[in-house]
Structure 1
Amino acid sequence: MCDAAEKDLYVVLGASPSDSIQQLRHRYQQLALQYHPDRLQCECSPEAESGIKKFLEADAAWKILGDQKTRRQYDLQRRAQELKQDWPVDCTIILGDMTWDQDEHVYTYCCRCGGGFAVSEEDTQIRQRDDKVEETEEGRHRGLVVCCDTCSLSVYVICSLDRKT
């Protein structure tokens, strides 16, 4: 059941998030008929073990997606995870290479579209507490992805932990 929690439950059922509850039930029933342990002939074969594993994954997925409340909760967690994933990054820049705006208390960097990237001093401090530390030849640092305020480009901003920027 732990494996099913790590996998996309919709993929386990061969469905999509836009499918209705009836469509999900139909997919689950098909998988249950195909992989249910009572339907498998050999109990000791690798095929039977694989089938049982698939049945257990489908059953765990159905238990979550078959209930409106738990499905909504799963969809929210899934969406949050998607938002945490890495963005396509145009380039990597060092926080020290950004321009410090004393009035706004923000680091800025110009985008090639004419827009700009902005990182507040607060963001760098919060990120330094929350993110994983990366060790490189240049020293220890943490980074964050910042999106342009005009276009869809993003940059990876490196915040050094070894020296104050």
Structure 2
Amino acid sequence: MCEAVEKDLYAVLGASPSDSVQQLKYRYQKLALECHPDRLGDVCDSEAESGRRKFLEIDAAWKILSQELQQAWPIDSIVSLEDMTWDHDECVYTYCCRCGGQFIFSEEELPWRQGNDDEKKRNESQHMVVCCDTCSLSIYVKLSFV
């Protein structure tokens, strides 16, 4: 009888359960680029197979976690980035949750900051989901561009 080995999906992505969906996505994208079979170049067959397995493991972990997290956190409201408060001392955007907690994210977590800063990336990233630091609610933040 074959026993299935349970893997810590967060560990596969080098993340932790407390990471936001945006942080998980960033880690997935970074690892996927590093391990993608097309990027391996001229390597021996065993290294190519190992790299392919690693890429598939990373891809599966992201697909499972992103689906679970999006289903686990109900969207409480839709908020514009302009409606959020910029904390100059902490360098984060904040928005109060009805539970008394906060929705918090840094400028570095903005989708266009997690890769190249071209116009195409900005056009594809016009929203993000931010989770409350206290309860299970999340907000849908509409991003606008100047």
TM-score by length of 2: 0.50
Greater C-alpha Rg? 1
Q: Normalised by the size of structure 1, how large is the TM-score? A: 0.45
